[in-house]
Structure 1
Amino acid sequence: MLNDLKIKRLKPTEKVFRVADHSGLCLEIRPSGGKFWRFRYRYLTKANMLTIGQYPEISLAEARLKTLEFRKQLANGVDPSKYQQEELLKTIQANSGIFSLVAAEFMETKNGQQSEEWFKRRNSHFQKDVFPVIGNKPIHEVDSIDIKNVLDNTMLRIRKSGKGTGETRGIFVRQIIGEVMSYAIITKRISIDPTYALRGYIKMPEVIHARPLSEIEKRELFPKLAVYGGSISTSNAIKAATYSWLRSIEIRRGKKEFINFEDKTWTIPAVSRADILAGKRNMKKNRMHIVPLSNQLLEIIKEQFQLYPNSEYIFPGEDGGMIGKTTLNTALQNLDIEFTMHALRATASTIANENGFNQDWVELQLAHVSSNKTRASYNHAQWLNDRRNMLQWWADTVDNWGK
């Protein structure tokens, strides 16, 4: 049997596992660290499993009481799962199908289909922007004016936060309200999607594409990094991105196991569907990518291994875990550098093409891989040495920027 001490000691692994309590109650521990109460039972000889809730929001005592309730239902010939569904429907009907409940029902239908990041992003905007305005309103009464108010409030909130002008967030909020409305149409709650009239309401600002670094910025980059007062791991990560042409996400999620010192390669593997849903994608596109290591990048990686021997990541954050999403760009801002990490890739691409390197090598090194999987696999083997020579030339070029 479980107790709170045993539960707290349960640590996540790479796969979902369950620990039994008694009477069909068990605790499911997911790779993300979430712990969920589940009730296993048989109804009409068919095995079933029902989710009770998440620990510690649902305590052990509460989960056991719920299990007892389910067992009484079974004793009376009632399927607990069907009973819960019927109760949920009654609740929705009792609340006239208010928007927040329909949204919750819609989100429930996506369990196991979408990533944790997908749920986190939507739930955040529902709580901050949508529910305060229309959450308690019957969904069939929500009209285009209501949604316009939500969008206006969202953009105003973003502008006040200083994190942009809000158009991108506003369009996303309209999109997620539309997802709920589409679900409401499918489930016969409404017949018209009121977000449709607002599809052209928000105009996106002109996209500013990453630009190559100026000559002054090239000369100043490494000298500024040399006097960076923050983590060595952060400054080394920026240098590694400069030498390797990798994206920030690929630098941040790079693990020591990806490095082969003998072959002088950094191989980023594709991940499973389960890992993608858990938000563990290694690259923007989920495919294998091989980076030949220049002498300069190899020395940086060796230094990182020595400085952070206990971390699984090549460039860990302060706690030894994955470096934060905004850490690298924030570091550039703190150094009074007026470009983002993506500009490093734009610079490499521009200069390599100007110096006559094969465009296919450049595109492959940027991980702009052909949609033809057979051709992409062939290119990895065919052009590895060519890209190795290109990246060594590039590293030597970068080292001459400040001279």
Structure 2
Amino acid sequence: MALTDKEVRALPQRSQRYRVSDGAGLLLEVDPAGGKYWLWRHRFPPTKDGRRQDLRIGPYPRISLKAARDIRDEQKRLLYEDGINPCDAKKRSKDHRWGTHAQLTFEAVALDWHATKTAGTWTERHSDDVLKKLNKDILPAIGGRAIDVITAQDCLAVLRSIEQRGSNETAKRSLGVISQVLDYAVAIGHCTINPAHSLKRHAPVKQTTSHYPCIPWSELPELLAAMRA
């Protein structure tokens, strides 16, 4: 059964460490000193035979109940849709020499994500196509921004800029690239939420429709005669 904020706050300390479930693998661990820490239990690969793993999310109340659920949902999306092992991705980020967190830019994460996917299942053609989208529109706009301060409005600005030149399909695909980079940032522990996800529902790519012009009434008899002929 899902927890409530009131229940989380009221969880007592005990002589032994224990865990309570919020559902869908999200657990809150309470230590003997009364400290509380969120974890997400899952399997990798995500099958009944997969190895059980616990991804440590962070302490409560710094990470609220709602935020913990959002992180769990982001990680589930990465696991089931992209096949990324959240625990391995987090470990990899710790081993990688990123520099300070404040210096970690969208570009640094995007290029690391691109290299990871290229070394995995991407074809050379798809890898080149994604890199072109990054270099042409995305990185010039938000590449230099710190990865953890990028907002939905930043992502939307990239989208609208591409739309203005009439490239709606490119805008849609570029939004997908931005969202995947931010998903990756969540997986490796440099973001808690992907702000681009809401754009897929609330700010879709603008569609333009071209209709054939109407025929003037004066030309209708001629058109009908031509059709009969």
Q: If the TM-score is normalised by the length of the shorter chain, which range does it land in? A: 0.3 to 0.5
Q: Greater relative contact order: 1 or 2 (C-alpha under 8 angstroms, separation 6 or more)?
A: 2
Q: TM-score, normalised by structure 2?
A: 0.46
**Looking at CA atoms only, which structure, 1 or 2, has the larger radius of gyration?**
1
